[in-house]
Amino acid sequence: MPSPDLPNIDSASFRVPDLQQLLPAARATHAPRIALLYGSVRERSYSRLLTEEAARLLQAMGAEPRIFDPRGLPQPDGAPEDHPKVQELRALAQWSEGMVWCSPERHGAMSGILKSQIDWIPLALGAVRPTQGKTLAVMQVSGGSQSFNAVNQLRVLGRWMRMLTIPNQSSVAKAFLEFEEDGRMKPSPYYDRVVDVMEELVKFTLLTRDSAACLVDRYSERREGAEALSRRVNLRSI
């Protein structure tokens, strides 16, 4: 087959996808690192209770879960970036190989508390992109009938943060009926779905974490980087 005519392509930046590049020579052996964010600071927060249940499941599946407590996190741009809670959140994002975002649905949308956490995680920290190529599972709780507004919005944010959002998701309706007084989730189809979601998240994390750099390597960014390097090299001395 003759080579296609692609006059707009920068041949130096163009890559043919190669299966071997997606098969790492060595795989990490440590437990998958999963950061969990929830979107409410109420004393009895159902998004927190659902997140805690998810963390128990992740631990049982061999992962290492860490939950971020949003209490004390300032509003985005309402404090300097060296604020202790901001630094804690950013360090957790960099440490993680996957994430769980769980929000209550308020006025048909995710909560501002969860959005603030995501807004504090930048697309880049120096040369490090703290979320790019990492896996993501999304969940929500509702006070009324089942809805998917919050998880749909979280999927949009996951794409914007360049994450690999898994297909499955959890939406728990009438959450006040789904938890015992001690905060544990009752057995139900909703609970079974949470198990499904965490199982899928661990599988996708194990599958992609060693290939994440290759999966998110982009022609446009390689080309942009090459042009920037060329400009620096060709810059005349003053």
pLDDT in tens, 192-230: 999 999 999 999 999 999 988 888 888 888 888 766 655
pLDDT in tens, 3-26: 678 889 988 899 888 888 888 888
Q: What is the pLDDT of residue 238?
A: 45
**What's the predicted TM-score (pTM) here?**
0.88
Q: What is the pLDDT of residue 115?
A: 96
Phi-psi region of 52 (alpha: psi -120 to 50; beta: other; left: phi over 0): alpha
Contact yes or no for 114/73 (Cβ under 8 A): no
Q: Which of the four pLDDT bands, split at 50, 70 and 90, describes residue 44?
A: very high
Euclidean distance between CA atoms 238 and 231, whole angstroms: 15
Contact yes or no for 154/161 (Cβ under 8 A): no
- The helix/strand/coil state of 94 is helix
Q: What is the mean pLDDT of residues 89-110?
A: 96
